[in-house]
Structure 1
């Protein structure tokens, strides 16, 4: 019989199957740290979802900042299914505390009642959240220098696909993450998208087309400069390509990944290139 999954691996498999699959292609020595990183990212992502108001979400984010700083400073770990393995990965030098704190900071954009104000702030949000995961994962896998910035771009493209896939779901909860200046340029507002997500479809398609072009450029660079040993940090970008192609219908509720999507990640992982 197969050995049971550790608690952090079981959590990640259920909560973030995309990054779970990507992490299977990491070297065994770094794999548990990447699972802890993904668990941490999941907790940050659900801070606003699980909170009744923005202030409660900020308190949740601060709790995770404190957990990271305590690990960095050598204090005992907090008793939590994610905080404990995260603490161990930080103490082992596999995860960088500064990377993790930056990921928490970037999530504050989700707590602003007025939304994300500009395209520049939206790009920073994507690069700090999904892109931040890719940077932290890449650093754990030995990536340095310009290749980390490349991973951040790949991760941001995956994050863009996720935002666009979630427009209808967030609207049903009274929220919108599309940048306010882009909405205004399309004759829209946050309130208009929340009332009728279909109104955002043309803007979503335009954002997806621009994101897909940038993703194609980043993937071409990755094939030249990203080491095979770091492929796990880049694999979510394989899914981003499909997400951006299908963006544009905010009423479609994203379901589990199909066999073709999972197979594309597996093939890219086996080839060692995105």
Structure 2
């Protein structure tokens, strides 16, 4: 491939990444537009990678095919670091970002491995505690923020700590929002920890195994509230670090805004994840109002 066609192919790959994020994570797409131009490309490639791995199981007609897709990504990461060409637009864009920004391979691998472990879980495998879900959120969401900070050349322990908390909050809240979807695919029990479910009367014994029943809307709302409370604590901790976070890191941490918007939307519907208002607009609020919130935080240098 000559230089001109390689450059054209790479431009197409980055355009594809932007489109993927816009289509599937619109709330994050708007966040990334607030980033400085010099590392917006890297951020979109990393987010598109997240879209690919997060949706692998959902778009597959058979769970085994979804799992194969995730394993393919695991192998693709090794190829990227070996500077081998991969015929996939997101992988192509990500290879370019890895080459230019020296992104840590460990974080990319950890992200895919967490999704593979989740995909391999049996239907009867219920996480025991909220901490297990926090770890999953850290491995899949916080890692994307760490790599985005790294792509921007930002080395700050405070920014990394804030990113960890924001990732955990975002991950937990998105798992809650997706409960109706997982319920429709018979995987809803996977994302309510056994301890929380038992406390709120959702855990029952069936044929010698524990099963979560969502019959009681009220009890489910109580369980969601308890988990949302943990997410809220993470957001508060992230904001407490704001004074020590460098100004150039704050646009990356704007991901706290969609998490807060979703938390507020959940609160408005009394933590009923089946309330149709949650799926309206952007995370339950009108798109224009969401954009104004984002712009205000961006202008004020807040997150």
What TM-score does the superposition give when structure 1 sets the normalisation length? 0.89
Residue equivalent to 2:252: 233
Residue segments in structure 2 that go unaligned for 5+ positions in a row: 1-11, 204-209
Change (3 A) 1:54 1:117: farther
Computing the radius of gyration from Cα coordinates, the structure with the larger value is 2
Change (3 A) 1:47 1:195: farther
Shift of 1:174: 0.9
Shift of 1:57: 2.8
Paired residue secondary structure (1:116): coil
Say whether 1:6 aligns with 2:15: yes
Residue equivalent to 1:214: 234
Change (3 A) 1:244 1:69: same
Which deviates more, 251-260 or 96-105? 251-260
Residue equivalent to 1:255: 280
Q: Where does 1:78-157 land on structure 2 (aligned, <5 Å)?
A: 78-93=86-101, 95-111=103-119, 112-113=121-122, 114-146=125-157, 147-157=159-169
Paired residues, number: 269
Change (3 A) 1:251 1:212: same
Residue equivalent to 1:188: 202
Residue segments in structure 1 that go unaligned for 5+ positions in a row: none
Change (3 A) 1:43 1:193: farther
2: CA distance, partners of 1:70 / 1:81: 14
Say whether 1:179 aligns with 2:188: no
Paired residue secondary structure (1:79): coil
Shift of 1:7: 2.2
Change (3 A) 1:87 1:193: farther
1: CA distance, partners of 2:217 / 2:183: 7
Shift of 1:269: 1.5
1: CA distance, partners of 2:165 / 2:223: 21
Shift of 1:104: 0.8
Contact 1:212 1:245 in 2 (8 A): no
Contact 2:21 2:44 in 1 (8 A): yes
Contact 1:26 1:231 in 2 (8 A): no
Q: Where does 1:67-78 land on structure 2 (aligned, <5 Å)?
A: 67-76=76-85, 78=86
Say whether 1:18 aligns with 2:19: no
2: CA distance, partners of 1:30 / 1:71: 19
Which deviates more, 134-143 or 49-58? 49-58
Paired residue secondary structure (1:143): coil
What TM-score does the superposition give when structure 2 sets the normalisation length? 0.81
2: CA distance, partners of 1:169 / 1:208: 18
2: CA distance, partners of 1:63 / 1:267: 40
Q: CA RMSD in A?
A: 2.2
Shift of 1:82: 1.0
Query: 1:184-235: CA deviations, max 9, x gaps?
Result: 23222384345666641111012212321331121121x2122222223211
1: CA distance, partners of 2:30 / 2:302: 15
2: CA distance, partners of 1:234 / 1:193: 36
Residue equivalent to 1:40: 49
1: CA distance, partners of 2:32 / 2:223: 33
